[in-house]
Protein backbone atom coordinates (compact mmCIF):
# COMPACT_ATOMS: atom_id res chain seq x y z
CA UNK A 1 0.00 0.00 0.00
CA UNK A 2 1.34 3.39 -0.96
CA UNK A 3 2.26 5.79 1.83
CA UNK A 4 1.21 9.41 1.55
CA UNK A 5 4.44 11.37 1.79
CA UNK A 6 2.53 14.49 2.93
CA UNK A 7 1.46 12.88 6.22
CA UNK A 8 3.74 13.73 9.17
CA UNK A 9 3.68 11.36 12.16
CA UNK A 10 4.01 13.16 15.53
CA UNK A 11 5.32 10.94 18.36
CA UNK A 12 3.49 10.93 21.71
CA UNK A 13 4.89 13.25 24.33
CA UNK A 14 5.75 11.65 27.66
CA UNK A 15 4.29 13.87 30.37
CA UNK A 16 6.28 14.37 33.55
CA UNK A 17 4.47 13.02 36.63
CA UNK A 18 2.04 10.89 34.63
CA UNK A 19 3.76 7.51 34.76
CA UNK A 20 0.75 5.54 36.04
CA UNK A 21 -0.05 2.46 34.02
CA UNK A 22 -3.56 2.29 32.60
CA UNK A 23 -4.13 -1.19 34.04
CA UNK A 24 -2.82 -0.20 37.49
CA UNK A 25 -5.50 -0.82 40.15
CA UNK A 26 -6.11 2.19 42.40
CA UNK A 27 -5.48 1.63 46.09
CA UNK A 28 -8.44 0.92 48.35
CA UNK A 29 -9.04 3.81 50.75
CA UNK A 30 -9.45 2.10 54.12
CA UNK A 31 -10.50 3.61 57.45
CA UNK A 32 -11.10 2.04 60.86
CA UNK A 33 -13.74 2.64 63.51
CA UNK A 34 -12.92 2.11 67.20
CA UNK A 35 -15.08 2.45 70.29
CA UNK A 36 -15.06 1.61 73.96
CA UNK A 37 -18.18 1.91 76.08
CA UNK A 38 -16.93 3.36 79.39
CA UNK A 39 -14.45 5.88 80.75
CA UNK A 40 -12.57 3.39 82.97
CA UNK A 41 -8.75 3.21 82.83
CA UNK A 42 -8.92 -0.37 81.53
CA UNK A 43 -11.24 0.58 78.69
CA UNK A 44 -9.19 3.70 77.92
CA UNK A 45 -6.17 1.43 77.44
CA UNK A 46 -8.25 -0.77 75.10
CA UNK A 47 -9.26 2.35 73.18
CA UNK A 48 -5.63 3.39 72.62
CA UNK A 49 -4.62 -0.16 71.66
CA UNK A 50 -7.39 -0.32 69.04
CA UNK A 51 -6.25 2.94 67.43
CA UNK A 52 -2.61 1.82 67.33
CA UNK A 53 -3.54 -1.63 65.99
CA UNK A 54 -5.67 -0.41 63.09
CA UNK A 55 -3.31 2.39 62.11
CA UNK A 56 -0.50 -0.16 61.72
CA UNK A 57 -2.82 -2.80 60.20
CA UNK A 58 -3.96 -0.49 57.39
CA UNK A 59 -0.65 1.19 56.63
CA UNK A 60 1.28 -2.06 56.25
CA UNK A 61 -0.99 -3.24 53.40
CA UNK A 62 0.54 -2.03 50.14
CA UNK A 63 -2.81 -2.24 48.35
CA UNK A 64 -4.52 0.08 50.82
CA UNK A 65 -4.45 3.81 51.33
CA UNK A 66 -4.85 5.00 54.93
CA UNK A 67 -8.12 6.98 55.19
CA UNK A 68 -8.04 7.68 58.92
CA UNK A 69 -9.13 6.36 62.30
CA UNK A 70 -12.55 7.31 63.65
CA UNK A 71 -12.85 6.72 67.38
CA UNK A 72 -15.56 7.35 69.97
CA UNK A 73 -14.40 7.14 73.57
CA UNK A 74 -16.66 6.33 76.52
CA UNK A 75 -19.94 6.23 74.60
CA UNK A 76 -22.62 3.55 74.77
CA UNK A 77 -23.14 1.46 71.66
CA UNK A 78 -26.91 1.00 71.99
CA UNK A 79 -27.57 3.70 69.41
CA UNK A 80 -25.62 6.00 67.09
CA UNK A 81 -27.19 9.38 67.94
CA UNK A 82 -24.36 10.61 70.18
CA UNK A 83 -21.42 8.98 68.40
CA UNK A 84 -19.85 11.97 66.67
CA UNK A 85 -16.91 10.14 65.11
CA UNK A 86 -19.13 7.33 63.84
CA UNK A 87 -21.45 9.81 62.16
CA UNK A 88 -18.50 11.74 60.70
CA UNK A 89 -17.14 8.49 59.27
CA UNK A 90 -20.49 7.71 57.63
CA UNK A 91 -20.51 11.20 56.09
CA UNK A 92 -17.00 10.63 54.71
CA UNK A 93 -18.13 7.31 53.21
CA UNK A 94 -21.18 8.88 51.60
CA UNK A 95 -18.97 11.65 50.19
CA UNK A 96 -16.90 9.00 48.36
CA UNK A 97 -13.75 9.45 50.46
CA UNK A 98 -13.65 5.94 51.96
CA UNK A 99 -13.91 2.56 50.20
CA UNK A 100 -13.81 0.23 53.21
CA UNK A 101 -14.27 0.46 56.98
CA UNK A 102 -12.60 -1.99 59.34
CA UNK A 103 -13.90 -2.46 62.86
CA UNK A 104 -13.23 -4.95 65.65
CA UNK A 105 -16.70 -6.53 65.77
CA UNK A 106 -20.39 -5.99 65.15
CA UNK A 107 -20.88 -5.00 68.79
CA UNK A 108 -18.30 -2.20 68.30
CA UNK A 109 -20.06 -0.96 65.16
CA UNK A 110 -23.65 -1.08 66.51
CA UNK A 111 -25.55 -3.17 69.04
CA UNK A 112 -28.93 -2.30 67.64
CA UNK A 113 -29.89 -4.61 64.76
CA UNK A 114 -31.97 -2.04 62.92
CA UNK A 115 -29.31 0.68 63.07
CA UNK A 116 -26.60 -1.78 62.08
CA UNK A 117 -28.40 -3.09 59.01
CA UNK A 118 -29.56 0.37 57.94
CA UNK A 119 -26.01 1.74 57.96
CA UNK A 120 -24.57 -1.35 56.27
CA UNK A 121 -27.13 -1.14 53.46
CA UNK A 122 -26.61 2.61 53.17
CA UNK A 123 -22.87 2.07 52.73
CA UNK A 124 -23.40 -0.92 50.46
CA UNK A 125 -25.42 1.27 48.10
CA UNK A 126 -22.28 3.42 47.78
CA UNK A 127 -20.16 0.27 47.28
CA UNK A 128 -18.45 0.83 50.64
CA UNK A 129 -17.54 -2.38 52.44
CA UNK A 130 -17.45 -2.90 56.20
CA UNK A 131 -15.13 -5.61 57.46
CA UNK A 132 -15.77 -7.05 60.94
CA UNK A 133 -12.46 -8.51 62.07
CA UNK A 134 -13.70 -10.76 64.88
CA UNK A 135 -16.51 -12.35 62.82
CA UNK A 136 -14.46 -12.30 59.56
CA UNK A 137 -17.38 -10.76 57.66
CA UNK A 138 -17.08 -8.51 54.63
CA UNK A 139 -20.45 -6.92 53.90
CA UNK A 140 -19.84 -6.88 50.15
CA UNK A 141 -19.41 -10.67 50.04
CA UNK A 142 -22.35 -12.71 48.74
CA UNK A 143 -23.02 -14.23 52.15
CA UNK A 144 -22.09 -11.12 54.06
CA UNK A 145 -25.54 -9.71 54.75
CA UNK A 146 -27.02 -13.05 55.81
CA UNK A 147 -24.22 -13.59 58.30
CA UNK A 148 -24.43 -9.96 59.36
CA UNK A 149 -28.15 -10.23 60.14
CA UNK A 150 -27.52 -13.26 62.35
CA UNK A 151 -24.52 -11.74 64.12
CA UNK A 152 -26.20 -8.35 64.60
CA UNK A 153 -29.21 -10.07 66.17
CA UNK A 154 -26.92 -11.87 68.59
CA UNK A 155 -25.16 -8.62 69.40
CA UNK A 156 -28.48 -6.94 70.14
CA UNK A 157 -29.47 -9.77 72.45
CA UNK A 158 -26.14 -9.36 74.24
CA UNK A 159 -26.75 -5.62 74.63
CA UNK A 160 -30.27 -6.21 75.98
CA UNK A 161 -28.88 -8.81 78.38
CA UNK A 162 -26.27 -6.37 79.67
CA UNK A 163 -28.93 -3.68 80.00
CA UNK A 164 -31.12 -6.07 82.00
CA UNK A 165 -28.18 -6.92 84.24
CA UNK A 166 -27.62 -3.22 84.91
CA UNK A 167 -31.29 -2.77 85.80
CA UNK A 168 -31.14 -5.74 88.18
CA UNK A 169 -28.04 -4.22 89.72
CA UNK A 170 -29.86 -0.94 90.32
CA UNK A 171 -32.84 -2.83 91.77
CA UNK A 172 -30.58 -4.71 94.17
CA UNK A 173 -28.94 -1.47 95.32
CA UNK A 174 -32.34 0.13 95.88
CA UNK A 175 -33.36 -2.87 98.00
CA UNK A 176 -30.22 -2.33 100.07
CA UNK A 177 -31.14 1.32 100.54
CA UNK A 178 -28.45 2.59 98.17
CA UNK A 179 -29.97 5.31 95.99
CA UNK A 180 -28.45 5.79 92.53
CA UNK A 181 -28.88 9.54 92.10
CA UNK A 182 -26.44 12.38 91.49
CA UNK A 183 -26.89 14.62 94.52
CA UNK A 184 -24.56 17.24 93.07
CA UNK A 185 -27.20 18.10 90.45
CA UNK A 186 -30.22 18.81 92.66
CA UNK A 187 -31.06 20.50 95.94
CA UNK A 188 -32.16 19.06 99.23
CA UNK A 189 -30.07 15.92 99.66
CA UNK A 190 -26.54 14.57 99.86
CA UNK A 191 -25.19 11.07 100.55
CA UNK A 192 -23.47 9.67 103.63
CA UNK A 193 -20.60 7.18 103.69
CA UNK A 194 -23.09 4.34 103.13
CA UNK A 195 -24.49 6.05 100.01
CA UNK A 196 -27.82 6.71 101.69
CA UNK A 197 -29.69 9.99 101.15
CA UNK A 198 -29.27 12.62 103.86
CA UNK A 199 -31.25 15.87 103.99
CA UNK A 200 -29.27 19.11 103.71
CA UNK A 201 -31.25 21.52 105.97
CA UNK A 202 -30.35 24.80 104.25
CA UNK A 203 -31.12 23.36 100.80
CA UNK A 204 -34.34 21.81 102.10
CA UNK A 205 -35.57 25.31 103.00
CA UNK A 206 -35.08 26.41 99.38
CA UNK A 207 -37.05 23.41 98.16
CA UNK A 208 -39.87 24.19 100.59
CA UNK A 209 -39.89 27.81 99.42
CA UNK A 210 -40.24 26.81 95.75
CA UNK A 211 -43.18 24.51 96.47
CA UNK A 212 -44.82 27.02 98.77
CA UNK A 213 -44.62 29.85 96.24
CA UNK A 214 -45.91 27.57 93.50
CA UNK A 215 -48.90 26.49 95.61
CA UNK A 216 -49.59 30.17 96.35
CA UNK A 217 -49.97 30.79 92.62
CA UNK A 218 -46.53 32.09 91.57
CA UNK A 219 -45.43 31.28 88.03
CA UNK A 220 -42.19 29.47 87.27
CA UNK A 221 -40.72 32.70 85.92
CA UNK A 222 -41.65 34.65 89.04
CA UNK A 223 -40.15 31.96 91.31
CA UNK A 224 -36.99 31.95 89.18
CA UNK A 225 -36.57 35.73 89.38
CA UNK A 226 -37.12 35.67 93.14
CA UNK A 227 -34.43 33.03 93.61
CA UNK A 228 -32.02 34.96 91.37
CA UNK A 229 -32.69 38.18 93.32
CA UNK A 230 -31.73 36.36 96.53
CA UNK A 231 -28.57 34.94 94.97
CA UNK A 232 -29.71 31.31 95.13
CA UNK A 233 -27.87 29.04 92.69
CA UNK A 234 -29.17 25.99 90.86
CA UNK A 235 -28.42 22.47 92.03
CA UNK A 236 -25.38 22.49 89.71
CA UNK A 237 -24.11 25.69 91.32
CA UNK A 238 -25.05 27.96 88.41
CA UNK A 239 -26.95 31.21 88.24
CA UNK A 240 -30.42 31.39 86.69
CA UNK A 241 -33.12 28.76 86.35
CA UNK A 242 -35.17 26.81 88.83
CA UNK A 243 -32.92 24.61 91.02
CA UNK A 244 -33.37 20.93 90.32
CA UNK A 245 -35.52 19.38 93.02
The pLDDT of residue 92 is 96
Q: Is residue 165 part of a domain?
A: no
Asked if the model's pLDDT at residue 95 lies above 80, the reply is yes
Give 181's DSSP letter: -
Question: Both 81 and 114 in a single domain?
Answer: yes
Question: Both 44 and 127 in a single domain?
Answer: yes
Q: Is residue 9 part of a domain?
A: no
Domain that holds residue 198: 183-229
What does the alpha-carbon distance between residue 89 and residue 85 come to, in Å, rounded to a whole number?
Answer: 6
If one compares 36 and 188, the residue with the highest pLDDT of the two is 188
The pLDDT of residue 22 is 47
Question: Both 73 and 136 in a single domain?
Answer: yes
Question: Both 49 and 119 in a single domain?
Answer: yes
Asked if the model's pLDDT at residue 158 lies above 60, the reply is yes
Question: Both 220 and 119 in a single domain?
Answer: no
When divided into structural domains, the chain yields a total of 2
Question: Both 99 and 191 in a single domain?
Answer: no
Q: Is residue 119 part of a domain?
A: yes
Give 238's DSSP letter: -
Q: Is residue 234 part of a domain?
A: no
What stretches of 45-127 adopt beta strand conformation (E)? 64-73, 100-103
Chosen domain end from 145, 160, 175: 160
> How much is the mean pLDDT over the chain?
78
Q: Is residue 172 part of a domain?
A: no
- 123 Cβ neighbours under 8 A, 6+ residues apart: 90, 93, 94, 101, 129, 130, 139
Reference 135, options 153, 112, 160; nearest CA is: 153
Question: Both 106 and 43 in a single domain?
Answer: yes
Cα atoms in the 13 Å half-sphere on the side-chain side of 220? 5
Question: Both 60 and 116 in a single domain?
Answer: yes
- 42 Cβ neighbours under 8 A, 6+ residues apart: none
Q: Quick one: pLDDT band at residue 143, thresholds 50, 70, 90? A: confident
- What is the chain's alpha carbon radius of gyration, rounded to the nearest angstrom? 30
Question: Both 127 and 63 in a single domain?
Answer: yes
What does the alpha-carbon distance between residue 50 and residue 12 come to, in Å, rounded to a whole number?
Answer: 50
Question: Both 214 and 122 in a single domain?
Answer: no
Question: Both 154 and 33 in a single domain?
Answer: yes
Lowest-confidence region among 4-8, 53-57, 82-86: 4-8
Q: Assign residue 143 the CATH number of its domain.
A: 3.40.50.1390
Question: Both 50 and 135 in a single domain?
Answer: yes
Decide: 170 and 125 in contact? Cβ < 8 Å. no
- Compute CA distances 69 → 32, 88, 224, whole Å: 5, 11, 46
The pLDDT of residue 98 is 96
The pLDDT of residue 23 is 52
Q: Is residue 62 part of a domain?
A: yes
**Sequence-separated contacts (24+) of 69-72 with Cβ below 8 Å:** 69/31, 69/32, 69/33, 69/34, 70/31, 70/32, 70/33, 70/34, 71/33, 71/34, 71/35, 71/47, 72/34, 72/35
Q: Residue 136, Cβ neighbours under 10 Å: how many?
A: 9
Q: Is residue 175 part of a domain?
A: no
Q: Is residue 84 part of a domain?
A: yes
The pLDDT of residue 141 is 85
What does the alpha-carbon distance between residue 32 and residue 216 come to, in Å, rounded to a whole number?
Answer: 59
Asked if the model's pLDDT at residue 138 lies above 60, the reply is yes
Amino acid sequence: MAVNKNVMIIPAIKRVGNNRKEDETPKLRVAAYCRVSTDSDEQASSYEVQIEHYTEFIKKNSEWEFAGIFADDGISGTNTKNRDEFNRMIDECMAGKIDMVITKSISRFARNTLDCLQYIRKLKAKNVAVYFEKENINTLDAKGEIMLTIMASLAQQESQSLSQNVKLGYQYRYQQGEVMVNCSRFLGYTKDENKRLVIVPEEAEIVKRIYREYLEGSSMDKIKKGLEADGILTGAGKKGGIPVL
